[in-house]
Structure 1
Amino acid sequence: MSKLLIIFGLVLLMTVPVSLAQAQVPAPTSAGAQYEGSGTAVVSDSSGLSDKITFSMTGVTRPGPDQTYEGWLVNSTTGDIQSTGVMKVDGSNKISHSWVSPDGDNLIEMYNSVVISVEPVPDSSPDSPSSIKPFSGSVSSVAMTHIRHLLVSWPEGSDAGILTNLNGQIDVAIQHVNLARGSSTIEGVLTHTQHVINVVDGSGGPSDGIGIVAHAKDRSHAGLAGASVATEAAKVEAAGANAEAWALEAKEAAENVLDQSSVTIAKALLNTVAGRLDAARNGISATGRGGGEQAYVSAQMMATYSLSSGDIGTPATGDTSIPMLAQMLLAGSLSLLVAGSFLFYRSRRVSRVRA
């Protein structure tokens, strides 16, 4: 009996190193640290306002066999998600991928984060991202609030943003300066020239009651968006200031037209009005000075998502129950060895006494 206890104890003792070795075997993991790459996701206009997003990344780790990357737009407040499609990594380890909302959704209005997930092929859950999300980016709530004021809704609840309204009113002014230039009578010229002045000031038809100058001054929302978007916000400020200044120059030139009684002279003066309004809308490329359009694009760039790899969390290494089991085996084997040795020693002693 004593020998059996000793043998059994030795067998158990031999299993302890095996158990400890198993405890060190890493469990399957999908750590973000194994994915590399960086880049941006930028929103722009396609068929509608801010309805397109473009992913541009370099140094991207290729996904494993039967896997692919997929982009997602996320609203962190409502939980709404939208797939932007499967992405391919080219031979230079780059991703160049664009997606346009088929419904013309304003992506800046609806979302504030992006995620790139690793999906199986085929994908059994195509309507939601997997748990492996090696790349992501977001815009802070403070920044996004003021970006939306610039591009989506101001005052809040309205259906257009500050810069959208600015460019819309400049377009109205351009329409009426062209109507004035096309008029055959001085009365027609003067009527449409007055309309240009009204639109700049925001007083009288066909203005929206706010006007180009007031919309341009509201560009100050860009500066309220915070330090994280300060570079593009400064461009919004500069281009918006240019648009305001050129619109005021157009108004001054239009006031000179109102003093004319000659159609020919009035139309000649309208060339200056038209030139200033075009600059207010599109900037002057020769000098690099932006106008309303450049302010709008810079506001969209404020909503750029910076994408980089990061550890998305790793499971615990091995099975945490194995070390505990190994300790129990060690204690049991030692108990058996001690008990077996004691019985063996006792039986030998009894045998000697009898002898």
Structure 2
Amino acid sequence: MVTDAETPLIHCEYKDFFYTGSMKKIQFLLAGFILFSSVCSGEACAGKVHTGESKEVSQKALNHAEEPSYCQSLQPSAADRLALPEWVLGSGSVLKRQGCWKSHIHWGELALETVRKHKQFSQERALLLSLASSFFYLGEYAHCLSFAKAAETLSDPKKDWRSIVESLYLQSAVARAKNDGGAVSLAEKALPIIDQQKEPAPFLRGKVLYNLAAALTDGKERNLERAREALVNAETLFKEAGNQYDVVRAVIRLARVNYLQGRYSQALTRLNGIQFQLGPPRTRMLFYQQRAKVLLAMKEWQKAEVDAGKAKELAMALYARKDLDRIALLQKRISERSTVIND
């Protein structure tokens, strides 16, 4: 199962404003409660920080200095730190695309403290959504879910519908990754919200369709033909938006559908067609991981072994432990010359 919900990479437009009235205060308190209770339940969170995150996760984020050198080059300057929330919201997508998730969480948690102190709820909501996807990529699904739900609670259905859509597809991504069921319905719930708006949101629709396709490809709710249709539509929307990063991810997903359908030559042709357009390390990891599966199914043992090794190196550099587990199983299948398709 591939977990590149993509979440991943959230684009949030935000304005500073202050909520007024008792209802907004109730929303704020409820969001804090959701974040606090969901993340810090049980003995593992006996020690808590005032923002509601566990010390365990904050400590992991402090280890961002262990990330690759290109992540260190993306750290905020002294001037950037004077306006840290704006920097995190502006640079978050770059950090996530490069796989610098610990750095993103480290600076994002500090930014959250600032916006909460100044009661900048719009920025808080945007930060919660942005950080949720980094937690997802690190395999911290409970934190991803709690952050996404807290952001949804802080959102006005009429004014902040984009935030609600983003929260829903993050929740869908977690349900898919955990194979809990409900991933498809959560993704489907987001589409009517987009359709009800006066102005179209093609790129956001593409993100939702991509995540819906992922839910239809992985887990209990598999429907490969419907997934293929959603991905074709998503790819078209990404191309119209000029977003090559998401176009490539859609192609990798389409190759996965071909692979699961037993159309290995078609899958390999798709993958080879984007080999020199891969970009960020996570995309390269997913590419090599998927191509190794296709090559294994085609009994190209040595080529499959090389690609799986490349995927493992990238996963180790990214600290992507869930992907490392999947790649380890893939390498075991390659060594055993097992071509059984079970993922």
Larger RCO of the pair (alpha carbons < 8 Å, separation 6+): 1
TM-score normalised by the shorter chain: which range applies?
Answer: under 0.3
TM-score, scaled to structure 1: 0.26
Normalised by the length of structure 2, the TM-score is 0.27
More strand by share: 1
